[in-house]
Amino acid sequence: MLICRFDKFVKRMKSNRISSLDFEVYHLETFSGHKEQFNKSKHCNNTSCLYFLTEFDLEVLQFLQNFSNKPSELLKIGIPALVTICLGPIAMIFYHSTTEFFWPKEKYPQLPNNNQCVSCFLTPAGLVYAISFGFAFSSALNKQSDILNKVTEEISFLDQAATLASKLKMNSDVRMEIYHAIKCEAIYMILQIENKRPTNFTKRPTVDVKTAIWEVLTLLQNENHPVEDHYVDDIMKRYLIDYISKLNNVCSDDISVLHSRTHWLMWVFLISLGFFSLYGVLMIQASSYRMELIMCTLTLFSISMLCYIVSDLDSPFSGFFRIDISIIVDVIYRLEVMHKMAALGFEETVCYPDSSRFTQKRYDSTEKPTVYIQTVC
């Protein structure tokens, strides 16, 4: 996984950046049907109003790009399997000493055939071993499924809130502030996944990203409601508030699930059960040294693989079976595009950028925000 991660990094560095296109010109030339919706009186000549991502946001996004499969996380995942592999040779080293203790050479010049006794031991030991590992596997799989549902649900709420904000009849400045609040919630979601605090970064946020989403309520309260306001707008505002409330519920209870790991005592219990099963297999006499060695090797390999699979599932954002969180970057990019559309005076700002043309875009904290974007709708 480290080699694949490095190979992807090299390919990304060698790939050519997509040429920048002037957003306004491209939009007007491509979507001729939206020309009448462009209000030149609201055109923002000041480039500062087009800034969407702060330096803190860029630093968080840059950290997210290198978050999955860090060497330290991969080492934590492999520790249970490595410990199990190390116990195999240790068991073989003490094999002769234990057999001489149970069957002294003075009384037993030749080791007796004890396969029936070993089978009586392996049957309950294997049953306990299988049930324990099955329980650990089921718990880790359910935890990853719960986290995936929570992340998917929150991303869906962010996307729907942005779409409703783009369809509401309101001032462009208010719409841009709502996009900013939703973006802060997405950044806060990334901080929760990374298990970081804003103080862990070099840059500092301009607002409290944890509570910025509630500014949407203040913006909706201060917005002037015309008499001829359509009833659909009231319904959309109600749904927008409902999505914000659900976002708060998701954020408030996922801290204990996102970064909870299997307790080390549970790992000691599982590895000990695997060691006992391996010790029982060592006592089996197959009248063939090669056959006995293959049986012990396969048993040790299966126990190590079980430990690795459970440990991999226990780490939801690293390893082979991890949750893909790159979609959060696409959601933030969509908010960035819609914000710039509102800043340039487009009354219709709902937009789904073509993510296939966005694969080579990387956020860099050293870059200054500009009025140019890599891709558009």
The long-range contacts involving 3-10, CB below 8 angstroms and separated by at least 24 positions, are 5/69
Among residues 373, 335, 377, 339, the alpha carbon closest in space to that of 355 is found at 377
**One digit per residue, pLDDT tens: the chain, 377 residues?**
777 766 665 555 444 433 344 444 444 444 444 444 444 434 454 444 557 888 888 888 888 877 777 788 888 899 999 999 988 888 888 888 888 888 888 888 888 888 888 888 888 888 888 899 999 999 999 988 888 888 888 888 888 888 888 888 888 888 889 999 999 888 888 888 888 888 888 888 888 888 888 888 888 887 766 555 667 777 888 888 888 888 766 555 555 677 778 888 999 999 988 888 888 888 888 888 888 889 888 999 999 999 999 999 988 888 888 888 878 888 888 888 888 888 877 777 777 776 554 444 455 544 444 444 444 45
Handedness of CA 187, 322, 73, 263 (dihedral sign): positive
Beta-bridge partner residues of 38: 346
Are the C-beta atoms of 361 and 333 separated by less than 8 Å? yes
State pTM to two decimals.
Answer: 0.75
Q: Report the alpha-carbon distance of residue 236 to residue 231 in Å, rounded.
A: 9
What CA–CA distance (Å, rounded) separates 62 from 125? Answer: 49
Query: Which element (helix H / strand E) includes 242?
Result: helix 231-253
Secondary structure class of 189 (helix, strand, coil): helix
Question: CA triplet 165, 170, 172: central angle to 5 degrees?
Answer: 85
The rounded distance, in Å, linking the Cα atoms of 75 and 77 is 5
